[in-house]
Amino acid sequence: MQQAFNPFLPSYEYIPDGEPHIFDGRVYLYGSHDRFNGKRFCMNDYVCWSAPVDNLKQWRYEGVIWKISDDPSKKRGLFKQMYAPDVVRGNDGKYYLYYFIGTQGTIGVAVCDTPSGRYSYLGRVRYPNGKILGMNREKDIWQFDPGVFRDDDGKIYLYTGFGARCRNPLTRFRSPNVHGAMGAELEEDMLTVKLPLASIAKTRRNSKGTGFEGHEFFEASSMRKFNGKYYFIYSSVNGHELCYAMGNSPLGEFKYGGTLVSIGDVGLSEKPLNYLGNTHGSIERIGNKYYVFYHRQTNSHCFSRQACAEEIFMNGDGTFNQAEVTSCGLNGGALKAQGEYEARIACNLFSKKGVRFYVCSLPKGVHPYFTQTGCDREGDGDQYIANFCNGATCGFKYFEFSGNDKISVTVSGNGRGKMLVKESLSGDIVGAIDIDAKTTAQKFTAQLNISDGIKPLYFIFTGKGKLNFYSISF
Ligand code: FUB
């Protein structure tokens, strides 16, 4: 029985900033490429994954589509990494990749006959007078996270921008001229913007009285059109959430719509249910369902992020309800409570002290975290939850229970105590597994008193020492 989980790519793959697009019956995911245990964002070359639109459980690796060394810019440096890209099919049937190098503040364009690469360099996005957009950092508009969109009438638009209030935390050495999200139609050459640039979404500087307050634009511009309405999707100043604004034309005006997803379910839950950090993604309609793609954080810092997705529901007026983060995103329903599941698909994870917002490396303290034993892009199935100590909780949503009466966990470490099992965070204990862990992984089993139906399952460790938590099984 094939099922889909979150994260939906193999456990060794760290793709943040994913932009899903459907081309010729397949969903392609274009994102940045983090490194497991990376010391900075996006240390790897762009790769692409795709799946048939009618089977979102079967993702195929398309290989490297663009390398940092393919960019002709000679400038090398500590912060030369490629951040969030996007791809659009041009009116000539070719595919255009828009990318952005961390410190440059300009947007590169590469082109290919197929969506899955490899792409060839085309040029830099420019003004009608030929000057490169974002080149003059002191006076020009700082470019960031390009999003590209082809409207039904064949016009193609570029969205870009950053919403930090002061200097760019990524570059430190300059104070870029940030204007929030900007948009412009592109000329047929796919490089030249038509002026004037439109202001798309409000930042903290200009949000008062607009409805964006508290969820102002920060980064991650992305445009979609559903049922004749335009949806500008972005990552807000809160970092952990994707929000949207709706409009009647591609260059606005856009009105704040709401939160699409928060990686800690902030807004749905009284306290964050997962470690926070930035997220970035978009919505895609696949068949007759809508899905929001985003990334979660792993490894106790912000440089190893992984692609996740959830079904999201549209109301009659075109607004979206906030999606809950789950373990079964693209599965089309709950996971069967049968067999073994890796602990890495937990959608909730927190410590007795709650969660933290991941930045650079943080001391682990009492905080559990997702990690892997292999090196970067090595192994599949070697991701687990480390540092699972007293009070640590992980949750899986959702399982479909049918006649279940046993529950097991596979752990290693020096933890001794009980693994309590609950069917909701505030609910009764439905199992208590005695744990006496050793350095090698071992399975511990207990009775499960749970009625049939679709429910979450939570595991809370009470005891001494630390566990490496590999899997649960029914
Ligand atoms: O992945 C690098 C940067 O982190 C992206 O450009 C931002 O959107 C944030 O996700």
Q: How far is the CA of 175 from the centre of ligand 1 (A)?
A: 18
> Per residue in 349-379, pLDDT tens?
999 999 999 988 788 999 999 999 999 998 8
Indicate whether 51 pLDDT > 80: yes
Per-residue pLDDT, 73: 84
Ligand 1 pocket, mutate which of 15, 17, 82 (most atoms under 8 A from CB): 17
Q: Is any atom of ligand 1 closer than 6 Å to the C-beta of 280?
A: yes
311 vs 171 pLDDT, higher one: 311
**Residue 432 CB contacts under 8 Å (≥ 6 apart), including other chains:** 418, 419, 420, 421, 446
Q: Is any atom of ligand 1 closer than 6 Å to the C-beta of 16?
A: yes
> Per residue in 143-169, pLDDT tens?
899 999 999 999 999 999 988 765 544
Q: How far is the CA of 439 from the centre of ligand 1 (A)?
A: 37
Per-residue pLDDT, 293: 98
Q: Which atom of ligand 1 is nearest to the CA of 32?
A: 1
Q: Which atom of ligand 1 is nearest to the CA of 145?
A: 6
Indicate whether 175 pLDDT > 50: no
Q: Which atom of ligand 1 is nearest to the CA of 278?
A: 10
Q: Is any atom of ligand 1 closer than 6 Å to the C-beta of 82?
A: no
Type of residue at 278: N
Q: Which protein residue has the closest C-alpha to ligand 1 atom 8? A: 220
Local confidence band at 407 (pLDDT 50, 70, 90 cut-offs): very high
Looking at the DSSP assignment, which residues form a beta bridge with residue 431? 421
Q: Which atom of ligand 1 is nearest to the CA of 34?
A: 1
Identify the CA nearest to 435 among candidates 449, 452, 417, 451: 417
Per-residue pLDDT, 134: 87
Q: Which protein residue has the closest C-alpha to ligand 1 atom 3? A: 83
Bond into 7 cis (ω within 30): yes
> Per residue in 38-48, pLDDT tens?
999 999 999 99
What gap in Å lies between CA 77 and CA 217, rounded to an integer? 28
Local confidence band at 177 (pLDDT 50, 70, 90 cut-offs): low
Q: Tokens representing 2?
A: 């094939």
164 vs 49 pLDDT, higher one: 49
What percent of the chain clears pLDDT 90, i.e. is strictly above it?
86
**Residue 153 CB contacts under 8 Å (≥ 6 apart), including other chains:** none
Mean residue pLDDT of the chain comes to: 94
Per-residue pLDDT, 173: 41
Widest distance between CA atoms in the chain = 73
Local confidence band at 141 (pLDDT 50, 70, 90 cut-offs): confident
Q: Is any atom of ligand 1 closer than 6 Å to the C-beta of 17?
A: yes
Identify the CA nearest to 326 among candidates 350, 346, 344: 346
* CA atoms within 13 Å, Cβ hemisphere of 409: 32
Indicate whether 287 pLDDT > 70: yes
> How confident is the model over 404-418, as a mean pLDDT?
98
Local confidence band at 138 (pLDDT 50, 70, 90 cut-offs): low
Indicate whether 230 pLDDT > 80: yes
Q: How many CB atoms lie within 10 A of CB 400?
A: 16
Indicate whether 193 pLDDT > 70: yes
> How confident is the model over 331-360, as a mean pLDDT?
97
Q: Is any atom of ligand 1 closer than 6 Å to the C-beta of 296?
A: no
Q: How many CB atoms lie within 10 A of CB 140?
A: 17
Q: Which atom of ligand 1 is nearest to the CA of 42?
A: 1
Indicate whether 243 pLDDT > 80: yes
Q: How many CB atoms lie within 10 A of CB 237?
A: 19
- As annotated, the active-site residues are 17, 219
What gap in Å lies between CA 261 and CA 203, rounded to an integer? 19
> Per residue in 95-121, pLDDT tens?
999 999 877 789 999 999 999 999 999
Among 14-23, 103-112, 390-399, the range scoring the smallest mean pLDDT is 103-112
What percent of the chain clears pLDDT 70, i.e. is strictly above it?
95
Beta strand pairing call for 348-350 and 416-422 = unpaired
Q: Is any atom of ligand 1 closer than 6 Å to the C-beta of 265?
A: no
Q: Is any atom of ligand 1 closer than 6 Å to the C-beta of 137?
A: no
Local confidence band at 75 (pLDDT 50, 70, 90 cut-offs): low
